[in-house]
Amino acid sequence: MIINRVSTERDPARPRSRRWFLGLAGSSAIAAACGGRTGSTPESESESTSGSAPETPAPTTSGEADSDGSAGSETDLPGVDDFIIVGAGAAGMTAAHLLVRHGRGVRILEAASTHGGRIRAEFDFVDFPVSLGGEWLIAPESELADIVSDPAVPITASVERYDPASSSGYHDDDVGLVIEPLGEFDYLNFVDGSWLDFFDDHIVEGIADRMTFDTEVVEIDWTDTVVRLTDASGDVHRSRHAIVTAPLAVLQRGDIRFVPPLPDDTQSAIDAAVVWGGIKVFVEFTERFYPTFLEFADSDTRTGQRTYYDAAAHHDTDTAVLGLFAVGTAAEPYQALSGDALRDHVLAELDDVFDGAASRTYVRHVVQDWSAEPFIGQAYLNDHEDPAIPRALATPLGDRVFFAGDAYTSHDDWGGVDDAAQSARDTVARIVG
């Protein structure tokens, strides 16, 4: 694809990294032309204990034991949940779903007032779901069945590849706008749906009564056999195991205090990780004057990525909606603006490419700045990160506190919904076998 002009900046060690569109399609004439190119009521307490890293506790056992030596019951101790999961994003929901399937007791404490995290979708903007965060399936279609993990449950979501004949545009001041066929491109798009729809249709029903919203965990005390999670209201929730799925930026800000403090290796990885911010803007126009994808000379660098794309693709609609995806440094010029100024900046950028068509056909827009989103504060771990970082972040604290999420993984990729779900599967397998 045309963006090959910046391919020298790519890291060959990360073949599946989240370069959302960039460099995945076929060859480019332009490249040649350019010479390259929830459950129980919480107990109110106030005290907490600090000290050195605790010993691994002897598990409480009754009934038929799982591989962690614990029973497959809701709880063994009165007032103590088996599992508490911090966060109801893709990882938290997947982990809860699997644990429920294993007959384990689970509650999810979610800081926001709804589930989904970074797969939030907007259903009222136009006549199809607009994915404000995670949008494409960047894994084989079988990943959907892997998330559900129940052969008896049919996958009703439909995903499609882009037509290779779709148009891919490239623009810079030297060559102007050049449009060519997209070529082979292996990202899958939900047809008339979204990642959030997929979780709602296949996962949420079974765990809905396990979720407690507006409950921000601010302290996790893992000193003793029972983990004590204190929320922002001062209520203390107790569990035998905790699974933390809060985004890395939340841990970097120290919004969750660990008692005792996190081990040096974990804290060092948190501090060293370069987490990209990110923003999405969706603009409705009266007509579709743009190609399926539009990229620029700076669309793919080691510090960020951006692209415009036809957000209505694979949806049953006549509404023209162009999406802007920008992460890392590529997002910053947009994030520096808001309201009319951001709208005008986007329209001016598009007018420059399409001879004023954007301003002439503009209807309205919607913005999701993930860097400014409470309890999120980021897009995802940068594509070029040292794999030792997510691996260190996936390391549990003894056998009580676990991490699951798109940045807590020992696999060779991170930063996607499939990675978050895979991480949750790994964590649950580690605990219950």
Ligand X SMILES: Cc1cc2nc3c(=O)[nH]c(=O)nc-3n(C[C@H](O)[C@H](O)[C@H](O)COP(=O)(O)OP(=O)(O)OC[C@H]3O[C@@H](n4cnc5c(N)ncnc54)[C@H](O)[C@@H]3O)c2cc1C
Q: Where are the alpha helices (DSSP H) in 164-323?
A: 195-199, 205-207, 248-252, 264-272
Measured from the CB atom, the residue of 91 and 227 that comes closer to ligand X is 91
Choosing from 82, 135, 295, 385, the residue that interacts with ligand X (CB under 6 A) is 135
CB atoms within 10 A of CB 412: 14
For 136, how many CA atoms within 13 A lie in the half-sphere containing its CB?
22
What CA–CA distances, in Å, run from 402 to 66, 174, 245, 262, 398?
17, 51, 9, 12, 8
Residue 184: closest CA among 161, 203, 204:
161
By CB under 6 A, is residue 320 in contact with ligand X?
no
Shortest Å distance, C-beta 215 to ligand X:
6
By CB under 6 A, is residue 221 in contact with ligand X?
no
Residues that bind ligand X (rule: CB under 6 A) add up to a total of 42
Choosing from 418, 426, 428, 432, the residue that interacts with ligand X (CB under 6 A) is 418
Choosing from 415, 426, 427, 432, the residue that interacts with ligand X (CB under 6 A) is 415
Angle of helix 417-432 versus helix 90-101 axis, rounded to 10: 30
How far separated are the first and last CA of the chain, in Å rounded?
43
Q: Where are the alpha helices (DSSP H) in 10-117?
A: 29-33, 90-101
Choosing from 22, 25, 71, 90, the residue that interacts with ligand X (CB under 6 A) is 90
- CA 291 – CA 309 distance, rounded (Å): 7
Choosing from 159, 379, 392, 394, the residue that interacts with ligand X (CB under 6 A) is 379
Query: Of 73-81, 205-213, 390-398, 416-424, which part binds ligand X (CB under 6 A)?
Result: 416-424
By CB under 6 A, is residue 247 in contact with ligand X?
yes
Q: Which helix (DSSP H) or strand (DSSP E) does residue 198 occupy?
A: helix 195-199
| Contact by Cβ (8 Å): 66, 75 | no
By CB under 6 A, is residue 246 in contact with ligand X?
yes
By CB under 6 A, is residue 226 in contact with ligand X?
no
By CB under 6 A, is residue 91 in contact with ligand X?
yes
Shortest Å distance, C-beta 403 to ligand X:
10
Residue 123: closest CA among 282, 247, 279:
282
By CB under 6 A, is residue 133 in contact with ligand X?
yes
Measured from the CB atom, the residue of 2 and 326 that comes closer to ligand X is 326
Specify the 3-state DSSP secondary structure of 147: helix
- CA 268 – CA 254 distance, rounded (Å): 13
Choosing from 118, 171, 202, 228, the residue that interacts with ligand X (CB under 6 A) is 118
Shortest Å distance, C-beta 205 to ligand X:
18
By CB under 6 A, is residue 394 in contact with ligand X?
no
By CB under 6 A, is residue 134 in contact with ligand X?
yes
Shortest Å distance, C-beta 362 to ligand X:
22
By CB under 6 A, is residue 416 in contact with ligand X?
yes
By CB under 6 A, is residue 216 in contact with ligand X?
yes
Residue corresponding to tokens 């598990």: 59
- CA 224 – CA 241 distance, rounded (Å): 11
Choosing from 417, 428, 431, 432, the residue that interacts with ligand X (CB under 6 A) is 417
In degrees to the nearest 10, what's the CA dihedral of 366, 363, 20, 2?
A: -150
Choosing from 31, 96, 111, 204, the residue that interacts with ligand X (CB under 6 A) is 111
Choosing from 39, 87, 193, 328, the residue that interacts with ligand X (CB under 6 A) is 87
| Contact by Cβ (8 Å): 248, 390 | no
Residue corresponding to tokens 């079974």: 206
What CA–CA distances, in Å, run from 350 to 53, 279, 407?
55, 17, 33
Measured from the CB atom, the residue of 91 and 321 that comes closer to ligand X is 91
Query: Of 68-76, 199-207, 250-258, 391-399, which part binds ligand X (CB under 6 A)?
Result: 250-258
Choosing from 71, 106, 243, 420, the residue that interacts with ligand X (CB under 6 A) is 420
86: β partners: 109, 244
By CB under 6 A, is residue 89 in contact with ligand X?
yes
Residue 293: closest CA among 28, 14, 11:
28
Segment 331 to 370, residues that bind ligand X, using CB under 6 A:
370
Shortest Å distance, C-beta 162 to ligand X:
13
Residue ranges in contact with ligand X by CB under 6 A: 86-92, 109-112, 117-119, 133-136, 138, 216-217, 245-247, 250, 255-256, 278, 280, 325, 370, 375-376, 379-380, 405-406, 415-418, 420
